[in-house]
Amino acid sequence: MQHDKKYFDQAEKFYTKAHELEPKNVLWLDNYVSFMHSEQRDLHLTKQLYEELIGINPNNSRYLYNFAFFLQYQTNDLIQAEALYNRAYQLEPTDINGLEKYVFFMQDHGQNIQKTVELYQELIQLNTDNSLYHYNYVLFLMKFKKDFRRAELFFNKAIEIDPNNLEYLGNFSTFLHTHLTNYSKAKKLYEHYLALKADDANILDNLAQIYLLEGNENKASTLLDQAFALKPDQPALQMELRFYSLAYFPDNHPQAFSELKQLLDTGERDLGWNLLISADDALQKNPTHPYAVILSHLAKIITGEQDLSSLNREVSAKLP
C-alpha cells in the first residue's frame, strides 16, 4: 500500500506539472481528470478539471457522461448530473457505455418514468444480447410500472441469454410464483436452480410451497427437510419452514407452533409473502386440523397483515 501511495503521489505531481505547462492540452487534461476521478483524491479539483476539459471541448459526449457520473456518485449533485447526462445523450444517443450510465441514473434518481422506459428500450436495442440490461429493465418495470406481463417477456429474454445465472433464475421463479401464480413454470425454474445449487434453503422452501399446493406432500416434505438441514439463519425463512410444517405436518413437527411464537414475539415478520393461500389449502385438505382455529390468523400475523394481539388467550386456550 505504501508503494502504491508513493506511485500515485508521483503521478499526481507529474500530471499537475504537465497541466501547468500545457493547460489547454486536451490529451493531458483528459488523462489527468481520469486519474483524479479514479483515485478520488481531490473532489473539488477533479470537478474543476472536468469543467476545464468540457470548456475546451463542450461537445464531447464521453467527457459529459463521465462528468455526470462523477457528480452523481462523488458529489451527489444530481440536478447538474441529470442535465449533463441529457446533454451528452443528445450529442451521442448511441454511446452504449454512456447511455447505460444515463439509464441507471434515471432509474435511481430520475422523476420521468416514461423517459426511463424509452432510454431502457434504446439501450436494449443497441445491445440485444446483454442479459443485464434485460434483467435491470425487468426490475424497473416491476417496481415503477407494475407491468408484470411485460416484465415476464424481458425476464424470459434474460434467462434465454444467460440460462444458468442463479440471480436471474431465483428471482424469475419467485416472480412467476408470487406475481403471476404460474406454478408450473416457476417449478421448472426452481428445479433448474437447484440442479445448479442444491443448498439454497430459500429456493427449497419456495418449491415446497408449490408442491404442497399441488398436493404432492411427499415431495414437499423432502424439500422442507432439506431446507431445515441447512439451518438457515434468516428469521423470515425460519418462519416459513415452520409454518408449512405446522400447516401440513403438525404431527411430525409438534414444536413448530412454539418456535413460530418465539420468533413472532421478538418482532420478526415475513412481509410480502403469501402464507394465507397455504393456510386455506391446508385447512381444506384437513378440516379437523388441530390448529384450525388459528392457522389463518397465524398466516396473516407472520406476513404483517394482522397484529400479534389477534392471537389472544381465548384462541390460544383452544390449541392442543
Confidence of residue 3 (pLDDT cuts 50, 70, 90): very low
- CA-nearest of 121, 131, 178 to 155 is 131
Residues 191, 184: Cα–Cα separation, whole Å: 11
Question: What was the pLDDT predicted at 312?
Answer: 62
Confidence of residue 318 (pLDDT cuts 50, 70, 90): low
Residues 32, 50: Cα–Cα separation, whole Å: 10
Does the pLDDT value for residue 23 go beyond 70?
yes
Q: Which three cell numbers stand for residue 160?
A: 434465454
Q: Span 274-282, mean pLDDT?
A: 98
Q: Span 279-295, mean pLDDT?
A: 96
Residues 143, 137: Cα–Cα separation, whole Å: 10
Q: Give the percent of the chain with pLDDT over 90.
A: 87
Backbone torsions φ then ψ of 268, nearest 5 degrees = -70, 140
Question: What was the pLDDT predicted at 189?
Answer: 98
Query: Mind listing the pLDDT tens digit for each residue in 175-208?
Result: 999 999 999 999 999 999 999 999 999 999 999 9
Grid cell 502504491 in the structure block, residue: 4
Does the pLDDT value for residue 150 go beyond 70?
yes
Q: How many residues does the structure list for the chain?
A: 320
Question: What was the pLDDT predicted at 194?
Answer: 98
Q: What is the pTM of this model?
A: 0.87
Question: What was the pLDDT predicted at 192?
Answer: 98
**Exposure class string for 99-117: b at 16+ Cβ within 10 A, else e:** bbbbbbbbbeebeeeeebb
Helix axes 148-161, 166-178, angle to 10 degrees: 150
Average pLDDT of the chain to the nearest whole number: 94
Residues 103, 105: Cα–Cα separation, whole Å: 5
Contact (CB, 8 A) for 85 and 65: yes
Does the pLDDT value for residue 7 go beyond 80?
no
Q: Which amino acid is located at 237 in the chain?
A: L
Confidence of residue 220 (pLDDT cuts 50, 70, 90): very high
Does the pLDDT value for residue 313 go beyond 80?
no
Q: Which three cell numbers stand for residue 17?
A: 506539472
Burial class (CB in 10 A: 0-12, 13-18, 19+), 231: exposed
Question: What was the pLDDT predicted at 311?
Answer: 79
DSSP one-letter code for 21: H
Q: Span 142-159, mean pLDDT?
A: 95
Q: Give the percent of the chain with pLDDT over 70.
A: 96
Query: Mind listing the pLDDT tens digit for each residue in 112-142?
Result: 999 999 999 999 999 999 999 999 999 999 9
Backbone torsions φ then ψ of 72, nearest 5 degrees = -65, -50
Question: What was the pLDDT predicted at 239?
Answer: 98
Half-sphere exposure of 122 (CA within 13 A, CB side): 19
**Non-local CB neighbours of 82 within 8 Å, separated by 6+ positions:** 68, 105, 106, 109, 110
Residues 228, 222: Cα–Cα separation, whole Å: 10
Does the pLDDT value for residue 209 go beyond 80?
yes
